Amino acid sequence: MQNKPYKTAYAEAPTSVTKDGSIIRELMHPSTHKAKKQSLAEAVIPHNQSTKPHRHISSEEIYHVLAGSGTMQLEDKNFPIREGDSICIAPGEIHNLTNTGLTDLVILCCCTPPYSHDDTEIITEES
């Protein structure tokens, strides 16, 4: 069995785009790290961009805003978010982010169980 790393060097963590359209940098994930029951990622939503409305079937998420400002849509609630705010998203809750600020909106995302594309359902008008 290969030992998985317990530390991530930020500059060595590649970015990718998730199903919801955010730019993600996986900082800790069981697929590549020692973490087993949770994942930690940085999400970036560029100026004047939004993520697609979506929900996670089994993952609970905690968002912590590292930089920027925007609007959070969480089920029937729509509220402003800014640096220092934290938001809890229960499994099954439809949510999305819109960057309303002048710089990138940067969010730290913690998921348990760990983030999975298969656990993410994009919400369309037909859903």
Tens of pLDDT, residues 90-108:
999 999 999 999 999 999 9
Q: Establish whether the linkage from the previous residue to 113 is cis, with ω within 30° of 0.
A: yes
Local structure of residue 52 (DSSP, 8 states): P
pTM (2 d.p.): 0.90
Helices marked H in the chain — which ranges?
none
All residues at 6 or more sequence positions from 95 whose CB lies less than 8 Å from its CB, including other chains = 53, 54, 55, 72, 73, 74, 75, 89
Rounded Cα distance between 58 and 120, Å, is 9
Assign 1 a pLDDT band (cuts: 50, 70, 90): very low
Please state whether 92 falls in left (phi above 0), alpha (psi between -120 and 50) or beta. Answer: left
Which of 75, 15, 74, 12 lies closest to 45 in space, CA to CA? 15
List of domains in the chain: 34-121 (2.60.120.10)
pLDDT 10s digits, 19-58: 999 999 999 998 888 889 999 999 999 999 999 999 999 9
